[in-house]
Chains A and B, each alone.
Chain A
Amino acid sequence: MRKSAFISIALHLAILLWVLVVFPVGRALDAPPIEDVPVDILTPSEFTKLKAGTADAKDEAPLAPKPEEKPKPAAIPAKEPPKPPEQVAAVPPPPAPQEKAEEAPKPTPEPEKAETPPEPNPEKVEKPKEPEPKKDEPKKADSKPAKPVKEVKDEKPKPKPAPPLEKKHDFNTDRISALLNKIPDAAKEPVAQDAPPDSPRKPVHGQSTGTQTTMAVNEIDALRAKIAQCWSPPPGGLGADAIVVKIRLQLNEDGTLTGLPTVANSGNSAFFQAAADSAVRAVYQCQPYVLPAEKYSLWRDMILNFDPRQMYGSG
């Protein structure tokens, strides 16, 4: 026994020694260095703003300098002296300056003329450019954000005549947002999205400055998911899948319902009534809804689609 114990100890010592010698230090694994990818975290509303902004930015960047530069060359040849027109206006007595003063107004209309021609310009430039963001955006964003963009496509003919009337600044924000938002409302009844039934331009309490006139898709999804949790559609029933209940609900600023939600469409099957009742109940139970306060005008009054196929899928 002593002999075996001795052998055993010697064996262990040998192994320990071997381990100490062969693995003196943990060798660093040769992992390829990870490249840093800069990531910006955007809120849903920032995301929508970003997309609206890129379409503008591309247009503005090349165009903004143009209207400024063009008037200048026009004005400088008109005014022979390099003096600024302000000083000229300040000194009325001498007749020579009067001529200059007469000339001075000339440049002012000229820039206007100069400005008007560029306006079609942005349109021309915009037409080829708008398709670009369309190609890009579906890749970047979900399929849903693509919808508003398609609407822009549909409504293209309209804005063309419009811009000359509008100031350039308005054209950038309101027009785009109007395109993104509200045009479908005029044509059809509010579609699947919970677009507010009234135009966002109507002065409402909580109207924002106008840059964010769409609800971010994620916010809509969040709202839908919340309601889907509360909603237990009546199970089964003949043609239960095909039923879509539209619920119109009006909300206070704190996210509570102002009144009982109403059913906005009708169906002839008895099952529809049950589904509609359950949907109304769900909307009622789920309040208050947490939605971005600055977009109150959008969710103050909206119509939600209750589609069992979607709700089951998501919920």
Chain B
Amino acid sequence: MTPPDVAVDLSVWELFRNAHIVVKIVMIGLLAASVWSWAIVLEKFFLFAKTRRESDKFEQVFWSGQSLEELYQALGQRRNTSMAALFVAAMREWKRSIERNPKPSPGTQLRVEKVMDVTISREVERLERRLTFLATVGSTAPFVGLFGTVWGIMTSFQAIAVSKNTNLAVVAPGIAEALFATALGLAAAIPAVIFYNKFNSDVSRQGAKLEGFADEFAAILSRQIDVRS
């Protein structure tokens, strides 16, 4: 071991251990924010992959010329997501209207569209849930880290004032530990911002896709209504 007065241990753990309690809290908070935002990122990553895969598969089946009734029968029992859920919800509403009144009216069309709108918004909400946390982390983590840094530098300056020694060796550990808080803040914020932007655009793309499908399906139903009336 090197003599203690010369070797100031600047390892990450020592930086954390020597930090002021406020700085410690800031560091822990930032670490937790980083963990949670990465969890959200991974979860969203899986979710979007799954959603894209399922909607691609559904579109393939939907446009394959298969009877919509059969498709509805096949999908009705399962717990569906995105486009399939939209289709099932619309078909269910359509069937109910037909059962009560075999001669469909313009009201039926309206109801089905309403149901599809609700489903779309529910699906989009499901996709973008927790994304706000990423946005929050992205915008506030640097400030929180900065707060820890300012606090740490404040205390290290107080230490300078007490020891009346401006030697760099006295100042450096305090500043290093203070800057560590900013580093953590940035480490948490940068991925959060990047993935928030990515997922945000993914959500809007998925939403547009659902809207397009809903419009096409409404056109099909409208044709059906014209045929039956």
Binding site for A on B (CB under 8 A): 7-13, 31, 34-36, 38-43, 45-46, 176
Contact = CB atoms under 8 A, between A and B. Distances in A.
Interface in A2-26: 3-5, 7-9, 11-12, 16, 19-20, 23-26
B12 A20 contact: yes
A3 to B, nearest CB: 8
A26 B9 contact: yes
Most A-side CB within 10 Å, residue of B9, B31, B35, B39? B39
A270 interface: no
Nearest to B6: A28
B42 A24 contact: no
A174 B46 CA distance: 96
A25 B176 CA distance: 13
Task: Say what secondary structure dominates the interface of chain A.
Answer: helix
Nearest to B31: A12
A25 B42 contact: no
17 contacts: A4-B39, A4-B45, A5-B35, A8-B35, A8-B39, A8-B42, A11-B38, A12-B31, A16-B12, A20-B13, A23-B11, A24-B11, A25-B9, A25-B11, A26-B8, A26-B9, A26-B176
Interface string A290-309: 00000000000000000000
Contacts of A34: none
Contacts of A26: 8-11, 176
A9 B45 CA distance: 16
Nearest to A12: B35
Contacts of B9: 25-26
B103 to A, nearest CB: 47
B32 to A, nearest CB: 10
A39 B8 CA distance: 31
Contact of B38 (A3, A12, A24): A12
A165 interface: no
Closest 5 pairs between A and B when the two form their complex, measured CB to CB:
A26-B10, A4-B42, A4-B43, A8-B39, A8-B38
B161 to A, nearest CB: 24
A4 B39 CA distance: 5
Contacts of A25: 7, 9-11
A20 B42 contact: no
B12 A23 contact: yes
Contacts of B12: 16, 19-20, 23
Contacts of B45: 4
Interface residues of A, number: 16
Nearest to B34: A12
A42 interface: no
Interface in A156-197: none
Contacts of B35: 5, 8-9, 12
Contacts of B13: 20
A1 interface: yes
B42 to A, nearest CB: 4
Contacts of B8: 26
A13 to B, nearest CB: 9
B187 to A, nearest CB: 9
B40 A4 contact: yes
A16 to B, nearest CB: 8
Contacts of A23: 11-12
Contacts of A19: 12
Contacts of A12: 31, 34-35, 38
Contact of B43 (A1, A9, A20, A24): A1
Contacts of A8: 35-36, 38-39, 41-42
A23 B46 CA distance: 33
Nearest to A1: B43
Nearest to A16: B12
Given A8-B42, A23-B11, A26-B10, 9 more contacts: A4-B40, A7-B42, A8-B35, A12-B31, A12-B35, A20-B12, A23-B12, A25-B7, A26-B176
Nearest to B40: A4
Nearest to B13: A20
A5 B34 CA distance: 11
A218 B46 CA distance: 76
A9 B35 CA distance: 6
Most B-side CB within 10 Å, residue of A1, A9, A11? A1
A24 to B, nearest CB: 5
B10 A1 contact: no
A4 B199 CA distance: 16
A20 B39 contact: no
Contact of A5 (B7, B11, B39): B39
Contacts of A1: 39, 43
B48 to A, nearest CB: 12
A75 B21 CA distance: 88
Interface string A116-144: 00000000000000000000000000000
Given A12-B34, A12-B35, A4 B11 contact: no
Contacts of A5: 35-36, 39, 43
